[in-house]
Structure 1
Amino acid sequence: MEVQHQLDEELSLKLFVVLSRALQSVKKRVEEDIKSHQLNPTEFAVLELIYNKGEQPIQKIGEKVLIASSSITYVVDKLEKKLLLERRPCPKDRRITHAVITAKGYELMTEIFPKHKEAINEIFAGLDASEKEFMIHQLKKLGYYAQDM
């Protein structure tokens, strides 16, 4: 029993290292693609959210794109200076301000988002469809387990 436990511990450590390195490699390639469009990954994440989901309360963007709430104002400011987003006060609640994609932002995302999806597809081309589905299932299982501990 003790030998099995040691083997399990070693496999867990190895899995952690392999998963971390794989994520690092994938993120590096995805970030290279994003930077090729003159955006940083945080700017792209905010633009992509608003492009695909519509205007968003600025206060809620951070939790949706996994960015610290303290960084959101800075990112929205930068996107506003680039004329890709604008702030719009909520007519029903003056405490809430929405980030809204501009025509220029929409045009940019319409051009680059399909290219970005293709770049991600190329990054994951080392796996076939069934392997991708299996990994999605396994990683969700792992993530939910870790979250519920």
Structure 2
Amino acid sequence: MKNVSYGNENDLNLKLVIALSRSIQHIRRGEGQNIQDAGLTLSQFAVLEALYHKGDLRICEIIEKTLSTGGNMTVVVNNLVKDGLVRRFKDPGDGRASRISLTEKGEVLIADLFPRHVESVQTLFERLESDEKRRLLDLLKKLTGKM
């Protein structure tokens, strides 16, 4: 195998991309088991979590909160409706739009699941000290321009 360099800065950038990708894979595997055990996809969990913490939302708000796409979100919400975990209703402030809310079944599921999710996330980040977590958060926000 050739040891090719694209320049020190570019080599470092490429290593960062690989390290960030591996980190995301590690996080997804770690947080995903409880979610999968509950019979949910990560996208379904994200919708339930957003509704649990933010209350009733329009689809566009769910997309924004969960960083999803419109086409995918419609499928995710339809499946959650079919499973009896959320319901759709007309937005009282805008008759053209719908709002999504948790059903009692959905509320019970996410209220039980979320504490286990918090525990698994704690385990994922236990190698980092609090000040390291804050620095990493600041650096990631700087990277995405979200300071």
The alignment's TM-score, normalised by the length of structure 1, stands at 0.88
CA–CA distance in structure 2, aligned partners of residues 77 and 98 of structure 1 = 13
Q: What residue identity is the alignment partner of 1:106? A: E
Structure 2: gaps spanning 5 or more residues: 1-5
Report whether the alignment pairs 1:30 with 2:31.
yes
- Residues paired across the two proteins, number: 141
3-state secondary structure, aligned to 1:136: helix
Percent identity reads: 35
Q: Which residue of 2 aligns with 1:107?
A: 108
Q: Which residue of 1 aligns with 2:89?
A: 88
RMSD: 1.6
CA–CA distance in structure 1, aligned partners of residues 71 and 104 of structure 2 = 27
CA–CA distance in structure 2, aligned partners of residues 97 and 63 of structure 1 = 16
List structure 1 runs of 4+ shifted beyond 3 angstroms.
Answer: none
Output one character per residue of 1:41-96: Cα deviation in whole Å (capped at 9) or x when no partner: 01000010001000001233212211110122211111112111000111232111
Q: Which residue of 1 aligns with 2:139?
A: 138
Q: Which residue of 1 aligns with 2:3?
A: none
The alignment's TM-score, normalised by the length of structure 2, stands at 0.89
Structure 1: gaps spanning 5 or more residues: none
Output one character per residue of 1:6-58: Cα deviation in whole Å (capped at 9) or x when no partner: 22222111111111111111112212221111111010000100010000012
CA–CA distance in structure 1, aligned partners of residues 93 and 24 of structure 2 = 42
